Every structure is written in C-alpha cells, then in structure tokens.
Amino acid sequence: MDVRREPLTLASGPYRLPGELWRPANRAAEEARLALVLCHGSTQKGMRHELIRHLASELARKWPVLTFDLPGFGRAPMLVIRGPGDYLYHEHLLAAARKARELTGLPVVLIGHSMGGRVSLQAAIRGQEEGLVIGVVTLAGLYDLPSDPEAMEALVADFASYVRVRFEVPMGEVARAIAESRPTLRAVEALKVPLLAVEAGREVYGFIRETRYELFRKARCPKTLVLLGRADHKFKDHHDKLVEIISGWLEHRTSVPS
C-alpha cells in the first residue's frame, strides 16, 4: 500500500467533526514539504464524496491529506446558525488546517470543491497571516455570492432544504449580512498566497459561470486558471486529470518559506 488512512476527530467550536488523515506509506512521507486539506462541497456524502475520496487517495501518495465533514454534512452533527459566520463555514476549515499542521508539522494548501472552494478562499486569508496556509486550489469553487439580499436569501433557503441545519436567527437576517459584506470578493482581493482555480467548461450553475472570471481578474496573488472544457461541475470522468493538474501545480508553483 502506498497510502495509510487514519480516522480522527476534529474539534471546531462546539462541534466534533469526523475526519481522516491520509499519509504516504513510503519515503514520500519524509520528503513532503506541505500538507493538504480537502474541503467538500454541498453534498450529503461529505468527505465520502467520490471526488474527495479519489483526490485524497491519489494525492496522499506524495503529501499528507486531511479530509473532514463540515457541520450538517456527512456524519457531522447538525449545523446551528446563529449568524452569517455559521453559514460561511471558514472557521471549521481553519481548524482543520491547524489540525493538519499539528499532526504533520507542515504548512498547508487548502483544496475545495464547489462550496468548499469558496470556503477555502475565506479560510486562506486568515491562515496566510499565521503562516499556516501557503496556497489555495478551487475546483469549480471560484464564484461570488449574491450582493442582492433577496437573491442571497433564496440561496440560503435552497441550502437549508438539503442540509441538516437549524436557524436560531431569521434566515433573511443572515442572508442580508452576507450580501452586504461580499465575503468572497473580499477574500479574493486580500489573497496573497498562490491560487489555482480549475473550472468546468460544462458548468451548470449560472452564478458560477457569471462571476468566476471577474473574481479571477481581481485576484492580485500569483494565480493560475485552468478550464477543462468537457468537464461538468462534479468533474465526472476527469478525476485523474484533476490529480495531474493539482500535483503539477503543487510541485512547481508553491514554495515553503525558508
């Protein structure tokens, strides 16, 4: 076996989130200069989503990889929303990045699919100041949230229709605060570490198609955009290509500060 997988529990605020650490089982474990944290998108499978598991199993041949379930997804506890930060999720990804560094002693690159990409961007602007996060990869995850409160509320309502969630504040209040703060745009503008954005040519979501290129233009960090013309939002039949793209970028674009 080239990879070993170990279960773990991630403490993040009031939550105890299930996770897994995938490690190279050969000399690559000694040679790794960074660790990876994978953040799933809006799927009830959580870290067991086919794309996340494939990326973890393949990338862990060279680098330690931590995967976990966000609150409300997979086997994680129900999400409780008391404010916009609970919907935005980035605190949990920061906790996962800190756990990865604790377990490996290495700086971290965040990799997120769909919603997980947006969460990764927001977590990175905090993590880069700590010297914790040294790169971000978004997979169909470079998109802006609506600035119109009504459109944002519709997005939150859709989210609540399939996530295990309880609102302790009005949904409209959460949506309005997010629409006014433009968190994804602010994150992209503040990002300093290298960014790899991999986008799907057959993207089904209009709000992603309509905002991804403008967001990429606004980024002032070292950045790379790859468009897989035949891929859909889930990158079906393109998982191995993603591994190739991410691996090449990690090997040639990121660097650990001396």
Judged by DSSP in three states, 88 sits in helix
* Average pLDDT score over the chain: 94
Judged by DSSP in three states, 230 sits in strand
Please determine, for residue 122, whether its predicted confidence score (pLDDT) is greater than 70: yes
pLDDT value of residue 26:
76
Characterize 15-53 residue by residue with b for buried, 16 or more Cβ atoms within 10 angstroms of its Cβ, and e for exposed: bebbbbbbbbeeebbeebebbbbbbbbbbebbbbbebbb
* 1, 31 contact by CB (below 8 A): no
Please determine, for residue 135, whether its predicted confidence score (pLDDT) is greater than 70: yes
193-240, pLDDT tens digit by residue? Answer: 999 999 999 999 999 999 999 999 999 999 999 999 999 999 999 999
CA 216, CA 39: separation in Å to the nearest integer? Answer: 20
pLDDT value of residue 98:
97
130: tokens are 């700590």
pLDDT confidence band for 31 (50 / 70 / 90): confident
Q: Name the residue ranges covered by the structural domains of the chain.
A: 3-76+84-145+182-252
**Residues forming a β-bridge with 35:** 108
Give domain 3-76+84-145+182-252's CATH number out of 3.30.420.480, 3.40.50.1820, 3.40.50.10890, 3.30.390.50: 3.40.50.1820
Backbone φ and ψ for 191, nearest 5 degrees, come out as -70, 130
